[in-house]
Amino acid sequence: MGEAYVMAARRTAGGKRGGALREWHPANMGARILDALVADSGIDPAAIEDVIMGCVSQVGEQSFHIGRSCVLASSLPDSVPAVTIDRQCGSSQQSLHFAAQAVMSGTQDVVIAAGVESMTRVPMGSPTMLAVKAGVGKGPWSPAILERYGVTQFSQFTGAEMIAADYQMAREELDAFALSSHRKAAEATREGAFEAEILPLDGVDREGNAICHDRDEGIREDASMEGLASLDPISEGGRITAGNASQICDGASGVMVVSEKALAEHGLTPLARIDALAVTAGDPVIMLMEPIPATARVLERAGRGHDDIDLYEVNEAFAPVPLAWLKETGADPERLNVHGGAIALGHPLGASGTKLMATLIHALRRRGGRFGLQTMCEGGGIANATIVEAL
């Protein structure tokens, strides 16, 4: 089996809901990422054989095949095909897996894996809510599924509360993790740690004035335990709040994946090599625990242990997720989300997979690390896990 290499990795700075990126059509936002990947690599855009675009809420401005729309809005020739996929929060991490598998198999040599989500212009849950309001069906879960699992709905908020209860995590522990995320993200921003990965975009401030959007908008440098403690729980008596959960976010991200043949033919120098891939699935009710077995699976596939991994990116969908992951894996917390995570930086759903990968690869190279592992929980009780080797 052939090798797959990451040639370029970029992301936009996160935009808060109704924030700096509110005027960007998601197709245009995704297009700028495609253009940046081509520019960074120096490759002929006509050599790109496919674009695999992750997107969760495929309705409205993200409907009618947002992947193809991103290509058509970009500088790529219209001969470049595209496909749009949905593996919930892991959509663009799965895009990366599909791209790597295509390259490893020898089927293709140059593939872009990317993701986009405007949670301002296409609010979370829009595909379900709009259909129900229009009288189209009764929702995504058949009565047979709900009866099988003894629930009336599947909720990530419920899953997060279940994890916190099962591991006896106090509200203060969750808030302390959230505060750490903000502090690490603020420090990384001050030190310029994100400069190599962030693609600046034209944005607007609160008054609508033009600005350069090159800083993650959700970072709270003034975050405090007192401020986090003042927030009401999402559910009565619960421990999950808006402060210890990921932020709603607008953004796009992507990576270019190429083969050894493409490296030679185009004279390319890669950033990283794909070391191992895995995807697992389990309990759809608690749903958010699956990064733990996915991590074990990908380490086994790679023939590596935690001592081999220099940095981890575990998506901060909710604070209990990475905290439970740490407790079960025994991984070094000092290697986890070293530049903060989605609690501070935002979670643009379909874009988060390649967003985290861009951060992981650039952090490894900046710190002189070798191997990095990325995993994230996904709706339905699924998780992707990826190991990369920085070059």
- Catalytic residue ranges: 89, 347, 377
Q: What's the CA gap between 81 and 52, in Å, rounded?
A: 9
Strand partners, 318: 245
Taking alpha carbons only, the member of 246, 15, 17 closest to residue 120 is 17
Q: What's the token pair of residue 101?
A: 């598998």
Listed in sequence order, the residues at least 6 apart from 45 whose beta carbon sits closer than 8 Å to its beta carbon are: 38, 75, 76, 77, 80
In the block, tokens 């595909």 appear at 127
3-class SS letters over 15-84: EECCCCCCCCCHHHHHHHHHHHHHHHHCCCHHHCCEEEEECCCCCHHHCCCHHHHHHHCCCCCCCCCEEE
Number of other CB atoms surrounding residue 221 within 10 Å: 12
Residue 89 DSSP code: B
Q: What's the CA gap between 202 and 257, in Å, rounded?
A: 27
Listed in sequence order, the residues at least 6 apart from 278 whose beta carbon sits closer than 8 Å to its beta carbon are: 294, 297, 298, 301, 384, 385, 386
Strand partners, 10: 254
Taking alpha carbons only, the member of 257, 239, 216 closest to residue 101 is 257
In the block, tokens 């951060």 appear at 359
Listed in sequence order, the residues at least 6 apart from 4 whose beta carbon sits closer than 8 Å to its beta carbon are: 99, 100, 103, 104, 257, 258, 259, 273, 274
Residue 8 DSSP code: E
